[in-house]
Amino acid sequence: ELDRNLKYLTTNYETFESIQKDNRRELDIKLDKHQLLFQSIKEFDKQFANIRSKIYEAGLKSSLEESVQKRLKHLEQNSSLLQEKAMQTFTFITTIKFECEQLVTDIKQMNDWLKLTDQQLNKYLIINLSTAEEKNDAAKRMLEKLDDFAIQEAHREQMKQRSDSLFKTLDDAPLQASLDDLDQTFSTLKQQIQHRYETLNRAGHHHADYDLRLHSLFETLSTLQTTFHHIRQQENHSDVLF
């Protein structure tokens, strides 16, 4: 009876032990099956203890008892090997699920950061900036954002490496789509910020140059006005003398 039960558990385990391109739902099912297997092995161990107790109470002849004990030991070893193998697979699946959940969390956090960054860009539209100082300050902010993107890009590369490793075992089209969308959003927003920085930087320099030229023009006009006023005074003085 014990031999038959153990063979059934072993055969049944072999139907779901392999992990080959499973999706998250299939991994959950396999985790549940492993939990049931561990419970069955626990019950199996109780049967072992019960039989050993009965053997002791029966007072079997030494030769028969030795034969039975030898068979029980063999079954116990096989049961232990099955449990060890199942635990390794269970741990592997649990690790995959944890990595998958962590990746989902990281994707959400980066998407939240991108959304916030996109909202902040509206503060630095050229149409809302009137002075060279404002435009130069906005360009500085955009440059800081590009530095932030460099940091986030390192995180994104780590996520890609983790996902590449994960997808060797896991088949998860929605997660892959989320990563692809994140890459697209990341690249698009980075390009927008790079363009915004270059535009603001040029506008700030042009505005500063315009202000400088305008200031120079006003100084020239002021000088001409002073010179003209001085000439008029001289003319008036000459009229008085004659």
Angle at 206 between CA 203 and CA 210, to 5 degrees: 135
Q: What is the mean pLDDT of the chain?
A: 78
Q: What percent of the chain has pLDDT over 90?
A: 23
Domain count across the chain: 1
Threshold 0.85, pTM exceeds: no
Residues 159 and 148: their CA atoms lie apart, in Å, by 17
pLDDT in tens, 169-220: 888 889 999 999 999 999 999 998 888 888 877 765 555 554 545 444 445 5
Q: Residue 182's domain spans which residues?
A: 2-241
Region 20-39: mean pLDDT is 83
**Among 105-119, 125-139, 142-156, the least confident range:** 125-139
In the three-class reduction of DSSP (H, G, I as helix; E, B as strand; rest coil), residue 1 is classed as: coil
pLDDT, residue 149, reads 93
Q: How many residues does the chain have?
A: 242
Please report, for the domain that includes residue 9, its CATH number: 1.20.58
